[in-house]
Amino acid sequence: MSRLWGALLLRRLWVPVAWGRAAAGGARARGSTAAPDGIEGPAVRRSYWRHLRRLVRGPPEPPFLHVCQVGDPVLRGVAAPVEREQLGGPELQRLAQQLVQVMRRQHCVGLSAPQLGVPRQVLALELTQALCQKTPPRQRALRQMEPFPLRVFVNPSLRVLDSRLVTFPEGCESVAGFLACVPRFQAVEISGLNPNGEQVVWQASGWAARIIQHEMDHLQGCLFIDKMDSRTFTNICWMEVND
């Protein structure tokens, strides 16, 4: 997710080695794959030195140190489970560490593996006291926003505990710069494994439940814009544009 208000003309084929076949089966293209309706953005232009550096070093490989943005096919596929033999292994540990690193650097409260270009069922969640304090007390109370420690889930599943729908604004690092009101269940239970393969279960309500649902959606190729009230879709910089 997700901030508190609520990821060369040379092209390549990404064949994930450490993670085996991609969730959609076999190799999947990144950057060179057209959008579903053939909609493509403008060609990427890079400076000479960036072009040269890319030629020497090669393109970056997932898990990335940046958050993939809407339009990237990896955000629309269903993530595949992490295989049993990878539990506790170096690839999974690196992925988990990178999720936490990018999440904290972006000052967000949740991040999923697909947002770093890895179509696997892994997500990280954390709401620090410092981030909580950035939201006014009245809003914190209304949203039932309480800090919680870092949690990393592998192959998670979700169970609804309270089906009442609560609607609040939320955003997403993969749809950077935008917010919208999204209905979410009041309370849920998430269960799965930690990166060492140990069983973990967490029952959460309020804002924590919203964060969980947001990140679980990412593992199904779903973004908050698919569930939002489209009339509330907002560019967070709209006032600056008018100044």
**Amino acid found at 85:** E
Catalytic residues: 215
Angle, vertex CA 129, rays to CA 156 and CA 206, nearest 5: 50
Say how many CA atoms lie within 13 Å of 22 toward its Cβ.
22
Q: Which helix (H) or strand (E) holds 195?
A: none
43, 9 Cβ separation under 8 angstroms: yes
- Tally Cβ neighbours within 10 Å of residue 99: 24
212, 190 Cβ separation under 8 angstroms: yes
Structure tokens at 62: 């997932």
What are the CA-CA distances from residue 68 to residues 133, 151, 217 (Å)? Answer: 27, 21, 15
